[in-house]
Amino acid sequence: MSQYEPKPEDRFTFGLWTVGNTGKDSFGDPVRQQLTPVEIVHLLANVGAYGVNFHDNNLVPIDATRSERDRIVADFKAALKETGLVVPMATTDLFTDPVFRDGAFTSSNPEIRAYALQKTMQGMDLGAELGAKVYVFWGGREGVETDAGKNPLDAMNWFRDALNYLCEYSLDQGYGLKFAMGAKPNEPRADLYLPTTGAMLGFIETLEHSEMVGVNPEVAHEHMAGLSYMHAIAQAWDAGKLFHLDLNDQNGARYDQDLRFGSHSIKQAFFLVKFLEDVGYEGSRHFDAHAYRTADLSDVKAFARGCIRTYLILKEKAEQFNEDARIQELVAQIREAGDPMSVYLGEYSPEKARQLKAHPFDRVALGKKGLPYEELDQLLIELLLGAR
């Protein structure tokens, strides 16, 4: 249906590794041919994406020579020019190569920590060359299987040192990059450091250039921890730190599924889209998901279109929710339950505190009041199911 056609201002982006996923998993070999970055750019243009993001090694293999790198980047730039796609975000693969088996910035080996800095600086150079404004940090191996050999305080200090160093590098080069840190509770390691968005937000405040650093929350990662993604997003927004996001889906505390956006937790996805649209989020709507292992290339396209369409359908549902008279009546009833207490709430003053302490609350009567959350939630379900 034409009303669900993406527009550039929707900022729908995908990573090269998402539609480029070959279906390989820990138990099975690839089922799809590896597409080249140029082929992926064309595929994404075909499904209506605005941009494409990459890890350094999605684009340039880790062992490429300088001339191979330059040729790959030139071909990629030509494909971007031809299709009009842009690169809003880039990141570093600090988890695939065996060198990172004990982490990158938090590796016990200082030589590996230095190599991780070198690799990230080169990744930042590549990102900046292609126009990226956001640089993502996902610490896939920053964690442990056992705490027997590493003190988390050391790991935290090494992590902090690395980010402080890289902020300086970006400033030094004039790249103007914003860093976005992605949290994940576990997998591939047993326990990853800074496992939730809230933990990341706390850590960021300890950095020397905390103003440059925000978060990149991912649906699946919060849901794996049994948390509300939308609440993590709201906290990041409240802190002015929502620099990027990873949209996908996840069925609870399983392995990291990276499902098509909105394919499992429709209600959560609705609240998320409504939140982003209501506050006026203007960053990338980036899909960090991949198609089922059963998919062939044409089904991968259906997967990518599906991510976009579901977002746009939920955006329309959010508008309906905001305009639905009965729904808004119930929302208002919930918000306005009780006598106006504004005289006591808000800023503290000794006089207000004295008056509030003297106020005769009817606690029992207050405790008797019900709230129509059931009716409201059922209306939402009916709206989502198309019965309203």
Query: Which residues make up the interface to Mn ion (CB under 5 A)?
Result: 220, 256, 258
Amino acid, single-letter form, for residue 113: R
51 forms part of the interface with ligand GLT (CB under 6 A): no
| Nearer Cβ to ligand GLT (140/380) | 140
Burial of 135 (0-12, 13-18, 19+ CB in 10 A): buried
Which DSSP string corresponds to 77-127?
Answer: HHHHHHHT-B--EEE---SSSGGGBTBSTT-S-HHHHHHHHHHHHHHHHHH
Binding mask 350-369 for ligand GLT (x = CB under 6 A): --------------------
Task: Supply the minimum distance, in Å, between the C-beta of residue 344 and ligand GLT.
Answer: 44
Other CB atoms within 10 Å distance of the CB of residue 191: 14
Residue 216: name its binding partner from ligand GLT, Mn ion, none (Cβ under 5 to 8 Å by kind).
ligand GLT
Binding mask 140-179 for ligand GLT (x = CB under 6 A): ----------------------------------------
Which residue from 16, 136, 224, 379 is in contact with ligand GLT, where contact means CB under 6 A?
Answer: 136
Residue 75: name its binding partner from Mn ion, ligand GLT, none (Cβ under 5 to 8 Å by kind).
none
Report yes or no: 382 and 388 within 8 Å, Cβ to Cβ: yes
Sign of CA dihedral 224, 227, 228, 231: negative
Task: Supply the minimum distance, in Å, between the C-beta of residue 333 and Mn ion.
Answer: 39
303 forms part of the interface with ligand GLT (CB under 6 A): no
Q: How far is CA 364 from the centre of its chain?
A: 44
| Nearer Cβ to ligand GLT (138/271) | 138
Sign of CA dihedral 216, 225, 138, 158: positive
Report yes or no: 189 and 139 within 8 Å, Cβ to Cβ: no
Taking phi over 0 as left and psi of -120 to 50 as alpha, with beta for the rest, 334 belongs to alpha
Place of tokens 């918000």: 335
**Cα dihedral 131→168→65→23 (10° resolution):** -60
Greatest Cα pair distance, the chain, in angstroms, is 79
Task: Supply the minimum distance, in Å, between the C-beta of residue 218 and ligand GLT.
Answer: 5
246 forms part of the interface with ligand GLT (CB under 6 A): yes
CA 166/CA 209 separation, integer angstroms: 10
Task: Supply the minimum distance, in Å, between the C-beta of residue 216 and Mn ion.
Answer: 11
Task: Supply the minimum distance, in Å, between the C-beta of residue 21 and ligand GLT.
Answer: 9
Which residue from 91, 170, 197, 263 is in contact with ligand GLT, where contact means CB under 6 A?
Answer: 91
56 forms part of the interface with ligand GLT (CB under 6 A): no
| Nearer Cβ to ligand GLT (98/340) | 98
Task: Supply the minimum distance, in Å, between the C-beta of residue 140 and ligand GLT.
Answer: 7
120 forms part of the interface with ligand GLT (CB under 6 A): no
216 forms part of the interface with ligand GLT (CB under 6 A): yes
Structure token pair of residue 81? 């020019």
> Which long-range contacts (C-beta less than 8 Å, at least 24 apart) are formed by 349-354?
none
138 forms part of the interface with ligand GLT (CB under 6 A): yes
In the bound state, the residue with its beta carbon closest to ligand GLT is: 138
| Nearer Cβ to Mn ion (208/256) | 256
CA angle 132, 235, 180 (to 5 degrees): 20
Which 282-301 residues touch ligand GLT, going by CB under 6 A? 288
Amino acid, single-letter form, for residue 379: L
Which 189-208 residues touch ligand GLT, going by CB under 6 A? none
Which residue from 142, 218, 222, 249 is in contact with ligand GLT, where contact means CB under 6 A?
Answer: 218
The residues that touch ligand GLT, with contacts defined as CB under 6 A, are 55, 91, 136, 138, 182, 216, 218, 246, 288
